[in-house]
Amino acid sequence: MNIEVANRLVNLRKQMGLSQEQLAEKIGVSRQAVSKWERSEASPDTDNLILLARLYNISLDDLLSTEDEIPTYEEATEEPEKDTEEDNVFDNENKYTENSDNSYNWDKKDGINVHADNGDRVHIGFDGIHVVDHKGSTVHVGLDGIRVNENAGENVTVDGNGVFINGEKQDIGEKMKKHALITLPIVSICFIAFLGLGFSMNGWWYSWLCLLLIPFFDGITKAIAFRKAKHLHETVTLGCVIVFLSMGLFMNGWWYSWLTLLLIPILTSLIDAIRKRKPFHFAFPVLVVFIYLAMGMFMALWHPGWVIFFSIPVYYWIANLFKGNKKHCDFDGCC
């Protein structure tokens, strides 16, 4: 690029009061790319030239013209901004080495280096896999651990010392211990029940149901230990299957026990609806079908039981009222 055009880009940017990083974010390129344009080491492509002209509210001719006097800026004499260590994370001649502050620079060439046009870069070598996107976020995966640094300042580190989020160690180990302390006795009881029923009552044909209780209770204890309702999904599914099989095996109720399988989408969607405070996540039509079938099969109320289907549009009308009211819906930023 012509040095005069490069100087024009510097002055126009400073007249707008923008740093190289702010300009790069506005037009969707890396800060390194802006720095190279302003040092006349590279030229913007046509799309970026159009974006620059629109941003500076000038025509392309004015942007690229070298005949007119170049706009001056009171600090135009200062040296162009130099690349920081973060800017030099990737280089075709170098490889990753880690600094004490978890940033990266380079030594000698080693491994595979991939450079995308938008500024995203990847290095794969014996020292691990390293990724930097054009916004400055970095990911490091190596034998020493995993580190993720977002350009917004958030960072996660997983290594031999534990899991750290923004420098704060997470007590995942304590949660796992709590989960194990509750689960181990339950596993032992279920396994003993399986063997006891099999040997003492020759009930091998049904005692295997005791083994299904292990993952069932594991899901409950995991939800309690980690305080995550999503772990209840597997528990609900297994619970419904256990009830279905138990009703069929012990009560010879195969002709109606299949209804319990309809409870799986009903209960899992109910958990989601409560957790996210979104009533539209609840599978209300499935609940209506379940109730209608139960009324028909057990009470012979096929008519006028069908009237219950009119409750479906009523439910969604009420749910839509809550959707429009943020104070009922805006829970953990999900609406």
Task: Note whether residue 335 is domain-resident.
Answer: no
In a domain, 74, yes or no: no
* Cα–Cα nearest to 125, from 109, 112, 107: 112
Q: Are residues 190 and 144 in the same domain?
A: no
Instruction: Give the C-alpha separation, 259 to 17, whole Å.
Output: 67
Is residue 164 located within the same domain as residue 291? no
pLDDT reported for residue 106: 39
DSSP string, 210-246: HHHHHHHHHHHHHHHHHT-GGGHHHHHHHHHHHHHHH
Does residue 69 sit within a domain?
Answer: no
Same domain (yes/no): 181, 212: yes
In order, the DSSP letters of 151-186 are TTS-EEEEETTEEEETTEEP-HHHHHHHHHHHHHHH
Q: Indicate if 49 and 189 belong to the same structural domain.
A: no
Same domain, 177 and 219: yes
Q: Are residues 321 and 238 in the same domain?
A: yes
User: Do 322 and 188 share a structural domain?
Assistant: yes
31-38 vs 3-15: helix crossing angle, rounded to 10: 130
User: How is residue 284 written in tokens?
Assistant: 């209300």
Tell whether 27 is covered by a domain: yes
Place of tokens 């009171």: 74
| Block mean pLDDT (10 aa), the chain, length 335 | 82 86 82 84 83 84 65 44 43 41 44 71 75 76 76 69 68 64 79 83 80 84 72 84 89 89 91 85 93 93 92 91 53 37
Q: Of 119, 153, 169, at which residue does a domain stop?
A: 169
pLDDT at 289: 95
**Residue 213 counted as domain residue:** yes
Domain count, the chain: 3
- In-domain check, residue 203: yes
Phi, psi (degrees; rounded to nearest 5) at 34: -60, -40
Burial class of residue 89 in the structure, from the number of CB atoms within 10 Å of its CB (0-12 exposed, 13-18 middle, 19+ buried): buried
Asked whether residue 142 falls in the same domain as residue 118, the answer is: yes
Same domain, 285 and 319: yes
Asked which of 117, 152, 169 is the last residue of a domain, the reply is 169
Q: What is the DSSP string of 14-32?
A: HHTT--HHHHHHHHT--HH
State whether 178 and 165 are in the same domain: no
Query: Do residues 111 and 248 both lie within one domain?
Result: no
- Predicted pLDDT of residue 60: 79
Range of the structural domain that residue 116 is part of: 96-169
- CATH assignment at residue 37: 1.10.260.40
Asked if the bond preceding 285 is cis, omega within 30° of 0, the reply is no
| pLDDT of amino acid 110 | 62
d(CA 160, CA 146): 10
* Residue 250 shares a structural domain with residue 276: yes
pLDDT of residue 273: 87
The reply to whether 79 falls in a domain is no
- Could you tell me how many residues make up the chain? 335
Assess if residue 195 is contained within a domain. Answer: yes
- For residue 116, the domain's CATH number is 2.20.220
**CA dist., res. 196 & res. 198, Å (int):** 5
